[in-house]
Structure 1
Amino acid sequence: MASATLSSASLARLIAEEKALYVSRNPASAELSVRAGRHFPGGVPLHWMNDWGTPFPLTVASAKGAEVIDADGHVYADFCLGDTGAMFGHSPDPVVAAIETAVKTGMTAMMPSTDTAVVGALLSSTFALPYWQVTQTASDANRAVIRWARGLTGRPRLMVFEGCYHGQVDDAFVTRDQAGHTIVRAGLIGQVYDISRTSVSVPFNDLAAAEAELSKGDVALVLTEPALTNTAMVLPAPGYLDGLAALCRKYGSLLCIDETHTVSTARGGYAKAHGLKPDFLVVGKPIAGGLPAAVFGFTAEVETAMGELNRRRPAGYSGIGTTLSGNMLQLAAMRATLDQVMTDAAYRHMHRLADKLADGLATAIDAHGLPWSVTRLGARAEIVHSPVPLSDGAHAHRTVDHDLEGAIHLFLLNRDVIVTPFHNMTLVSPATTDAHVDRLLGVFDLALDALLR
């Protein structure tokens, strides 16, 4: 089929229609937003909850499995899943049972609980690294890894990749200008020092660019997701990650793989599935079934170096860790998730439905003659506004059309389907059913009809 053309007028009309429909069908959410706005700016407990592109926030009344019910009683098929926080479904029964039991015997005591040894063994067998630490969020875990890497190597610089996202980590908020120079990202609030002095941004999938920086001998850590997932999804080229790991070994830099999103790849994440051997590994969001928690793992060699560094340094706070990190409730939820929820059977189910979803999305795109494609990573699939796979962060940035993405997202939302509002990424859980996938595919087809009307 010849390529279809989307007009700006048609897009603007559709957005206006869908915003009006959203307002008319969500009076309870509108009223709750006004009430909440008396004390929470924008009516949300943290400002980014207003990034959904809706006239006012959608208020959740309950969430279970792969469905969300809003304050007006609409039941949604949820393919956002808390942007991976609920990747294994909302409130998995084993996690709920573990929390209900644990909460009666204490939530936090700043000491290890009786679950600690079991969780450590489960983490080691699941992710193929022997040593672990627990934090509150993946942001905390990444900050800890950066600090450890600089301490262990005595080097100042961090290497990240254009288009990356590693949570609320100052050191990673850099990008590249048109001349290829590392600059601080625009839009940061209250940034008072030049991060580009100690962090460098290079293009993903470009080993020559990585080697040019690593060969300077001052990079402590290379921090990367195995695939970029926060800027229209970019998969690694064949051999790229192995080549990057080899360069790190050659030039004495440590390598951290951030699996906070790519844990959707397989049980044990992308690194284990593809035989990568990083020095550090970070997993956040779904690791405790949706309860706030994250972990970072590391090799025996790193653990030995950590011990030596701790023995040498003066007494006092290390700058790593918070009081609630590794609390009793986190460990109980993590034990249930690792042992009973994050199973091979769960991933087989997720992958089967993700195959069906990705194929259905691609079929609809082709049937409408649109120059788009679908990128797939395990249980995750994403609509990419490019006819060919994305090569790096800059390529991804050029494809982004926020109005188009917002129109599709709002159209789906008004017909009881939730996808991630950031570049329309989808995720399936063990609780997702064929009926949920069929609903998304049917509504997506209607969305394309409306766009081309």
Structure 2
Amino acid sequence: MTAEPNAPYPHRRRLAELWEVEVQRFRAARPQSDLLFRQAKEHMADGVPMLWMAKWPGPWPVYVDVAQGAHFRCVDGIDHVDLCLGDTGAMCGHAPPASVAAITHQLSRGSTLMLPTADAAAAASMLAERFGVPSWQFALSATDANRSLIRYTRQVTGRRRIAVHDYCYHGTVDEAYATLDENGAVVSRRGNIGPPVPLDETTAVVPFNDIPALEEAFAAGDIAAFLIEPALTNIGIVLPDPGYHAAVRELCTRFGVVLIIDETHTFSAGPGGMIRADALEPDAVVIGKSIGGGIPAGAYGMTTEFAAAVRASLDLEDIDVGGVGGTLAGNAVSLAAIRATLGEVLTADAFAGMIERCTQWTAGVQAALDEFEVPWQVTQLGARAEYSFRATAPTTGSEAAHADDFELQQYLHLHALNRGILITPFHNMALMSPVTSAADVERHTVAFREAVESLYA
């Protein structure tokens, strides 16, 4: 085998051979998905409703027949353990009964009203209790929520730029598609589709866990907001160093920068995300995906002081045309879904079980890595865990990115898929739902060990 010392996995010939074996296994097992895929290509680019769905491993996507709890069945009749869970969107499990009942009930009574229902205040109260900021507004996604808060921070501060972490992820927010090049300059992130302006005009970028770099960025005096995940999650899990968030809070206060914490993925840490788990003190909070029980939903919360400043900056006459909100935001069905999902599904007791299952998953991955002396690592964040192709846990997004190996990742994901296990397609993340069982996790443990053995034995 030809070794490539700079690659996370050096034996490319073996990897190519293993890949071909798994592709043939996939083809043989999924003729109905193949048929639907060929029909779909007539009217959809790459045969998928969103182009990124073409990135799933294998010659065509798996078509789902029905999803329930922590499993789904594809059109070829194969049962899958779903450890992707809509990349957090289905963290509550598929079709949770309490959410489905609330959604169905509200649908029969009207869905889009442009007027509030009683569920709105109830949902806002639950979010306030969980995340510690009292004033809430609703959106259709975390992306929408992030965009709204960025506009509000620029409005209130009079400053034009925001700061983000290198290799962050905040949905499809234009300002967040920025990274640092090898010389430390702010540039458009690789793969950014049609960026409207040079990213250094809108954004300052700082490495995760780098307080001196953050202080330098803030000292320029033009940063309205620091938009962060409290741990990076979409480049592999990168956890904060001890004291990092306390230092971030102090710098934001000192320089008058609004601190926005996006908990959309880090909600896995517990009922109130990392904000509650680590006693963080944001000026604003974003949450999305998981709180709607499968219905598009997002929300953003603000401290009393920030909310008052926002409201004082807006004229009632123009409040509907300023670029914040939409006619479907805060709709009755989303609010019913949020109230039921937070109140009855993603409860504190549910999170305890989810975290226990994730600890089991992490131990299973670590056992295989130890058995075959594989130089990878695995990191857990509550109910979410992820392995990466490096020996030690990354401390910055750049470290995590440089450990990536797309071909190796695709093989591992296809290997799992062929054994009825779905993990998040764009990195190596597994997420537990309230109904994920120990047996579900064990299925992954057995399959992952087999994959590692195929690569390293």
- What is the TM-score normalised by the length of structure 2? 0.96
Determine helix, strand or coil for the equivalent of 2:314: helix
> 1:111 offset after TM fit, Å?
0.8
* Alignment match, 1:326: 330
> 1:359 offset after TM fit, Å?
1.0
| Mapped pair 1:156 → 2:160 | yes
Describe the superposition over 1:278-334 as per-residue Cα deviations: whole angstroms up to 9, x where unpaired: 011000110111210000011000111012101498666111011100000001101
Runs of 4+ residues over 6 Å off in structure 1: none
* Alignment match, 1:170: 174
> Aligned AA for 1:76?
H
Determine helix, strand or coil for the equivalent of 2:313: helix
- 1:80 corresponds, among 78, 84, 101, to 84
Structure 2 CA distance, aligned partners of 1:284 and 1:444? 30
Matches within 5 A, 1:3-402: 6-311=10-315, 317-402=321-406
Describe the shift of the 1:365–1:235 C-alpha distance in structure 2 as closer, same or farther (beyond 3 A).
same
Structure 1 CA distance, aligned partners of 2:22 and 2:189? 32
Q: Give the % identical residues.
A: 41
Describe the shift of the 1:307–1:192 C-alpha distance in structure 2 as closer, same or farther (beyond 3 A).
closer
- Aligned pair count reads 450
- Are the counterparts in 1 of residues 186 and 199 from structure 2 also a CA contact under 8 Å? no
Describe the superposition over 1:88-146 as per-residue Cα deviations: whole angstroms up to 9, x where unpaired: 10111100110111110001111111212211211111221101011011110000010
- 2:416 corresponds, among 388, 402, 412, to 412
- Are the counterparts in 1 of residues 374 and 456 from structure 2 also a CA contact under 8 Å? no
> 1:236 offset after TM fit, Å?
0.7
- Are the counterparts in 2 of residues 232 and 400 from structure 1 also a CA contact under 8 Å? no
> 1:5 offset after TM fit, Å?
7.0
- Are the counterparts in 2 of residues 139 and 167 from structure 1 also a CA contact under 8 Å? yes
- More deviation in 5-14 or 334-343? 5-14
Structure 2 CA distance, aligned partners of 1:313 and 1:210? 38
Structure 2 CA distance, aligned partners of 1:437 and 1:56? 26
Q: Gapped runs of 5+ residues in structure 1?
A: none
- Are the counterparts in 2 of residues 79 and 426 from structure 1 also a CA contact under 8 Å? yes
- Are the counterparts in 2 of residues 6 and 451 from structure 1 also a CA contact under 8 Å? no
Determine helix, strand or coil for the equivalent of 1:56: coil
> Aligned AA for 1:175?
T
Describe the shift of the 1:7–1:251 C-alpha distance in structure 2 as closer, same or farther (beyond 3 A).
same
> Aligned AA for 1:374?
V
- What is the TM-score normalised by the length of structure 1? 0.97
- 1:446 corresponds, among 442, 447, 450, to 450
Describe the shift of the 1:314–1:321 C-alpha distance in structure 2 as closer, same or farther (beyond 3 A).
closer
Q: Gapped runs of 5+ residues in structure 2?
A: 1-7
> 1:11 offset after TM fit, Å?
0.6
> 1:450 offset after TM fit, Å?
1.3
- Are the counterparts in 1 of residues 66 and 73 from structure 2 also a CA contact under 8 Å? yes
Describe the superposition over 1:125-176 as per-residue Cα deviations: whole angstroms up to 9, x where unpaired: 1221101011011110000010000001000111001111100111111100
> Aligned AA for 1:332?
A
> Aligned AA for 1:430?
P
- More deviation in 408-417 or 310-319? 310-319
Structure 2 CA distance, aligned partners of 1:382 and 1:189? 27
- Are the counterparts in 2 of residues 5 and 370 from structure 1 also a CA contact under 8 Å? no
Structure 2 CA distance, aligned partners of 1:184 and 1:98? 42
Structure 2 CA distance, aligned partners of 1:52 and 1:197? 34
Structure 2 CA distance, aligned partners of 1:312 and 1:27? 57
Structure 1 CA distance, aligned partners of 2:70 and 2:377? 25
Determine helix, strand or coil for the equivalent of 2:386: strand
* Alignment match, 2:407: 403
Describe the shift of the 1:335–1:449 C-alpha distance in structure 2 as closer, same or farther (beyond 3 A).
same
Structure 2 CA distance, aligned partners of 1:361 and 1:261? 21
Describe the superposition over 1:364-400 as per-residue Cα deviations: whole angstroms up to 9, x where unpaired: 1110110111111000110111111101011111100
> 1:195 offset after TM fit, Å?
2.3
Structure 1 CA distance, aligned partners of 2:341 and 2:31? 37
- Are the counterparts in 1 of residues 366 and 377 from structure 2 also a CA contact under 8 Å? yes
> 1:219 offset after TM fit, Å?
0.4
Taking only aligned residues, the RMSD between alpha carbons, in angstroms, comes to 1.4
> 1:188 offset after TM fit, Å?
2.3
